[in-house]
Amino acid sequence: MPVSDPVPLVSSLSDIYSPAGVAKSALRWDRLASQFSKAFNQSQPDFIARAPGRVNLIGEHIDYVGFSVFPAAIEKDILMAVKVHRSDDDGHSAAEGELEVVIKNTTPRFEAHTFTSGYLETDQVGLLDQGDQRWANYFKVAFKGLHSHLPAEVLESRSRPTRIEVLVDGTIPPESSLSSSAAMTTCSSIVILQAFGARERIDRTEMAEVAIESERLVGVNSGGMDQSASIFSIPHHALYISFYPKLSVQPTRLPTSQPEHTFVIANTLVVSDKKVTGPVNYNLRVVETRMAARALAKALGIESNRGEETKTLRLVLETFFREKPAALEEEGGAEVLDTLRGYGEEAARLRFMELASDRLLEKGGMTREQVEVATGFRGKDFDQEFLSSFPIRAEKFKLHARSVHVFSEALRVIQFKSLCSEESKGPSTYASLGELMSSSQASLRELYECSCPELDELIQLASDSGAIGSRLTGAGWGGCTVHLVRKSDVPEFLASLRRGYYEKRFPGLREEEINDALFDTEPAGGACVYQV
């Protein structure tokens, strides 16, 4: 799919939502315009930018390693209503040579924030490390990140903005693993591009790359799945996203079948904030996979073990098979050859690496000293290689388990995609898709250790209530689960989760809160700008 076009301009809600979604959202969009006028001196917004959240169907914790993932955008999204003041159009100009941004939220707990910046550099734009205005950091990092990509003539233009007024309205529950933060960064980037008249000058790939980089400034060493899903999704399709050798996307329809199937999202309501728990959860896992890559390369006898070529598990795989192109046939064994016949070469290479990790990496937790021996990175080199980008805290590192998860999960993504393109699309295809989702969950729970008791409980309940496959979605340690369910079973399935989980654990929840936590979803469209 072409990814070198700009973020699209749309003129109707039906370009964005399903018919049911249009009916639900029309009121919210109208209300946003009137809330904007209340918040900003009776004025009307010039445009509304939109970026959706996503649900990942399969392929967890492998994007930052360089393997492909398979999410879909959801209808829940972030909207930003925006008015742009320019030096030549009214009395709103900030201090000479400065841009002023005022960002407000329709949810009162997110306090309004104003910041100013020079046009030629953004050094004065500092991030907030505490308080109720901290959410504005997402806008700031998007601005700082995008700034160096804006052409000079845009920044120096006489009609550049002097003040940008933004009202944010989000329906993606924060810290619920449906990617509200990436939607915030993405939506902010779109606002900046549109406000500077540069939307058509930066294509979506560049925008996605900048949004991915920018979000790391918030303190999480995340991969690129969330921003890419938000930017490139199209309605009715899941998105197969590849990161190697470069970012590319392939919208893929889920099989049509009789009976029909759909996905249900159920939020554990356990908050999972990657920014806070990064050092012991998310960022630690990223580092463990990097350690595993160096250790596996060494164990496989790759000579260039210390360079870029073995920095991630993906690169270890590429380097190994470049050096030994006949390894699959010569050293693979029956299981690898089976995978080769069933799913092709890429899948067989993954299976090969999964088995090699299982055989060659030390099982159980390893101390720093043991990791130094296994990777060959010692002392200062170890600090530089593994500890210098994001702070982490751990006594032991689990290289074997993380590596086996990564390769087996990457293989499941290929199998999932291959099932979506198969001819036979009856219940057995869906049974196989469901099995892949459930084995993904088992691997996330046992090997990647990013599940939690509430996720396990909800997933068990879903399976007892007729789900064909169930897993956590996103980073884990709380947040949401996703379930594959027969469409005709949805009402009974929702009722069963409501009784068995929400009414038991959260008896005081209002109807609206339950509907926000538990809902069925169809793949939705991606980010766009709506000209008012």
Structure tokens at 257: 């079948």
Site string for ligand GLA, 172-191 (x = CB under 6 A): -------x------------
182 close to 71: Cβ distance less than 8 angstroms:
no
User: In 3D, which of 125, 186, 120 has the Cα closest to residue 151?
Assistant: 120
Name residue 229's beta-bridge partners: none
Q: Does 60 bind ligand GLA (CB under 6 A)?
A: yes
Question: In terms of CB distance, is 117 or 272 closer to ligand GLA?
Answer: 272
Q: How far is the CB of 212 from ligand GLA (least distance, A)?
A: 8
Beta strands in 417-486 (DSSP E): 469-472, 480-486
Q: Does 67 bind ligand GLA (CB under 6 A)?
A: no
Q: How many helices (H) and strands (E) does the chain have?
A: 20, 13
Give CA separation, 9 vs 18, 46, 200, 333, 523, in Å: 18, 13, 10, 52, 20
Instruction: Find the part of the chain contacting ligand GLA (CB under 6 A) among 53-61, 126-134, 235-243, 314-322.
Output: 53-61
* Residues of span 421-480 touching ligand GLA by CB under 6 A: 474-475
Q: Does 214 bind ligand GLA (CB under 6 A)?
A: no
Q: Is 65 helix (H, G, I), strand (E, B) or coil?
A: helix
Q: Is 528 helix (H, G, I), strand (E, B) or coil?
A: strand
364 close to 352: Cβ distance less than 8 angstroms:
no
Question: In terms of CB distance, is 105 or 440 closer to ligand GLA?
Answer: 440
Q: How far is the CB of 54 from ligand GLA (least distance, A)?
A: 8
Euclidean distance between CA atoms 55 and 229, whole angstroms: 9
Count Cα neighbours of 406 within 13 Å in the Cβ-side half-sphere.
32
34 close to 236: Cβ distance less than 8 angstroms:
no
Q: Does 61 bind ligand GLA (CB under 6 A)?
A: yes
Question: In terms of CB distance, is 92 or 216 closer to ligand GLA?
Answer: 216
Q: How far is the CB of 27 from ligand GLA (least distance, A)?
A: 30
User: What distance lies between CA 87 and its chain's CA centroid?
Assistant: 37
| Position 27, amino acid | L
Instruction: Find the part of the chain contacting ligand GLA (CB under 6 A) among 61-69, 117-125, 167-175, 295-303.
Output: 61-69
103 close to 117: Cβ distance less than 8 angstroms:
no
Q: Is 482 helix (H, G, I), strand (E, B) or coil?
A: strand
Q: How far is the CB of 368 from ligand GLA (least distance, A)?
A: 25
Question: In terms of CB distance, is 191 or 212 closer to ligand GLA?
Answer: 212
Q: Does 288 bind ligand GLA (CB under 6 A)?
A: no
Question: In terms of CB distance, is 180 or 357 closer to ligand GLA?
Answer: 180
Name residue 83's beta-bridge partners: 165
Name residue 104's beta-bridge partners: 167
Q: How far is the CB of 458 from ligand GLA (least distance, A)?
A: 18
Question: In terms of CB distance, is 221 or 310 closer to ligand GLA?
Answer: 221
Question: In terms of CB distance, is 161 or 474 closer to ligand GLA?
Answer: 474
Instruction: Find the part of the chain contacting ligand GLA (CB under 6 A) among 100-108, 221-229, 314-322, 347-355.
Output: 221-229
Question: In terms of CB distance, is 67 or 115 closer to ligand GLA?
Answer: 67
Q: How far is the CB of 120 from ligand GLA (least distance, A)?
A: 31
Q: How far is the CB of 528 from ligand GLA (least distance, A)?
A: 21
Q: How far is the CB of 241 from ligand GLA (least distance, A)?
A: 10
Name residue 10's beta-bridge partners: 530
Of 63, 77, 169, 226, which residue is the catalytic one?
226
Site string for ligand GLA, 4-23 (x = CB under 6 A): --------------------
Instruction: Find the part of the chain contacting ligand GLA (CB under 6 A) among 57-65, 81-89, 109-117, 374-382.
Output: 57-65
* SS3 of 121-160: CCCCCCCCCCCCCHHHHHHHHHHHHHHCCCCHHHHHCCCC
Question: In terms of CB distance, is 32 or 172 closer to ligand GLA?
Answer: 172
Among 223, 434, 523, 525, binds ligand GLA (CB under 6 A): 223
Name residue 242's beta-bridge partners: 248
Phi, psi of 502 (to 5 degrees): -70, -45
Instruction: Find the part of the chain contacting ligand GLA (CB under 6 A) among 92-100, 139-147, 222-230, 240-248.
Output: 222-230
Give CA separation, 123 vs 114, 162, 458, 465, 470, in Å: 16, 17, 46, 54, 45
464 noted as active-site residue: no
Q: Does 63 bind ligand GLA (CB under 6 A)?
A: yes
Rg (CA), the chain: 24
User: In 3D, which of 132, 44, 50 has the Cα closest to residue 529?
Assistant: 50
- What does the DSSP 8-state code read for residue 52? E
Q: Does 489 bind ligand GLA (CB under 6 A)?
A: no
Question: In terms of CB distance, is 164 or 444 closer to ligand GLA?
Answer: 444
Q: How many CB atoms lie within 10 A of CB 272?
A: 23
Euclidean distance between CA atoms 10 and 115, whole angstroms: 29
- Give the residue carrying structure tokens 């039906």: 14
Q: Does 226 bind ligand GLA (CB under 6 A)?
A: yes
Count residues contacting ligand GLA (CB under 6 A)? 12
Instruction: Find the part of the chain contacting ligand GLA (CB under 6 A) among 10-18, 59-67, 108-116, 299-307.
Output: 59-67
Instruction: Find the part of the chain contacting ligand GLA (CB under 6 A) among 219-227, 242-250, 314-322, 524-532.
Output: 219-227
Q: Does 241 bind ligand GLA (CB under 6 A)?
A: no
Residues serving a catalytic function are 226
* Contacts to ligand GLA by CB under 6 A: 56, 60-61, 63-64, 179, 222-223, 225-226, 474-475
